[in-house]
Each structure stands twice: as C-alpha cells, then as structure tokens.
Amino acid sequence: MKSAWATTLLALLALPALAAAPAPFSADYEVLRNGSRLGEATIRFSALDGGRYQLQTTTTGTEGLAALAGTHVEERSLLSWHGDQPETLDYDYVQKLGWKTRERHVRVDAGSKNIDYQDKDRHYAPAYRPGVLDRQAITVALMQDVALGKTGDRVYLVPDKDQLATWRYRINSVSSLQTALGPQRARRVDRIREDDSGRKTMVWLAVDRGFVPLRMLQTEENGETIEMRIVSLR
C-alpha cells in the first residue's frame, strides 16, 4: 500500500514543470526617429516579493523638439506568473509632453474576474480571460516563449477599451545583429496585423543574453519609424 507521501510525490512528478520567469535585467537604449537620435530609454525587469515581477520603461526626449517639449514617458507593468506564462496585475502609462499629460491604466482582478481599463477619464470593463497582458508586458511574454523554444505564431490577449484584442506575433529564425554590445545572435519577432495599414512592429531578442530586447522598430502608416537600440546591459 502506497504511503500518503509517495502518492503526493507521484502526483507532483506528473505535473508539468513550471518555467522560471526571465532573469532580472536593466538595459539602456537610444531612441531614434527616422534614423535620427530622439532620446534615451531604460527598461528594467525585476523580481518582487510574493512571486510578482515588475517591468518598467522610462523614455526621455533629449534631442530637438522632444527635448524642448520635455517629452517623458513612464510605463510600469506588475505581473504574476501562472505556469510558464505571465499575467498582468496592474499597468500604468503616463506620457508628459509640454503641458499635456496622457494616462492609461489597467487593473486586473483574476479572483473576481474583473478588468478595469482606464484611458484618460473613461473607464471600460472588458471580460476577463486568464493570461491577459497589457501592451508593454507582451515583451516579457515574448522573451518567455522564445526561451522555451516555442515557434510559429503566438497570440496574446490585450485590453482595448471594452474588449480583449488579439495581438499575434510570429517568431522568426536567428540571425546576427550588429549592436553597441558587439555582434549578437538575435531572434526576430514580428507583430502580425490583420489590416493593411502598413504599420509594422519588429523586436530582436538576444539569444545569448536571456532574450533581452536588443532592438525594437515601429513603422507607422506614413512610413515614419521609431526605433530603440540597446547601448548597455546590466
């Protein structure tokens, strides 16, 4: 007859292994618009107590009109981990441009299955689904999925006013990328949009450095580009 201890051990062994979250890091970037330096940014990913993690991005305009206008953006994502996937608990976005401030907030209560999405002074309540992510936290989800060897298309749920939007990304092959850290092996990930707006989003993740973002490129409908390139990593 099996002991209670042996039964528990067998049950635990039958469970899928839980994947650890990406390692904490702090990285600095230069921000460019249409190839010209616009400002600088810092991304920090850190472990907190209670199994929570924080992703924080600070962007400051240091050149031209961005500097004159005092452009400053703060994003903060508070995440929990479920199995091998993150889920947003809180998200705050604050953009300051001259005398104008724009804010966006997301609060997720998985226990009561509620989401409060605030854009400016409007509140929305999209239906909760497990694994919901804010738009910044997708970076961490991509890092995790690529580290786990997942391939092809990945789909993430992101609050967008009164609904959960589906954001689809495609994991591509590994190539060499020239960076301020020297040549790096990078896996490129592209966002796949269903419309024909011409907008493009691409992220290059460092294969040998914990899949930290090395470069991020956003192309707008009018062809303008906003780019972040890594300059240091700690």
Task: Taking residues 114-132, report their average pLDDT.
Answer: 97
* Residue-level pLDDT at 8: 38
* Residue-level pLDDT at 7: 43
Asked whether the beta carbons of 55 and 134 are under 8 A apart, the reply is: no
* Residue-level pLDDT at 19: 60
Task: Taking residues 131-143, report their average pLDDT.
Answer: 98
* Residue-level pLDDT at 17: 40
pLDDT score of 37 more than 80: yes
* Residue-level pLDDT at 2: 47
Cα(201)–Cα(219) distance, integer angstroms = 6
**Among candidates 162, 160, 141, 158, which has minimal Cα distance to 150?**
141
Position with higher pLDDT, 12 vs 163: 163
Task: Give me the percent of the chain exceeding a pLDDT of 90.
Answer: 84
pLDDT score of 123 more than 60: yes
Task: Taking residues 187-200, report their average pLDDT.
Answer: 94
pLDDT score of 18 more than 50: no
Cα(69)–Cα(163) distance, integer angstroms = 34
3-class SS string, 118-174: EECCEEECCCCCCCCCCCCCHHHHHHHHHHCCCCEEEEEEEEECCEEEEEEEEEEEE
- Tell me the CA distances in angstroms from 70 to 95, 100, 211, one per residue in order: 10, 10, 32
Task: Taking residues 4-31, report their average pLDDT.
Answer: 64
Tell me the domains of the chain and their CATH numbers: 21-233 (2.50.20)
Task: Taking residues 122-139, report their average pLDDT.
Answer: 98
* Residue-level pLDDT at 14: 38
pLDDT single digits (tens) 70-119: 899 999 999 999 888 999 999 999 999 989 999 999 999 999 999 999 99
Phi, psi of 144 (to 5 degrees): -65, -45
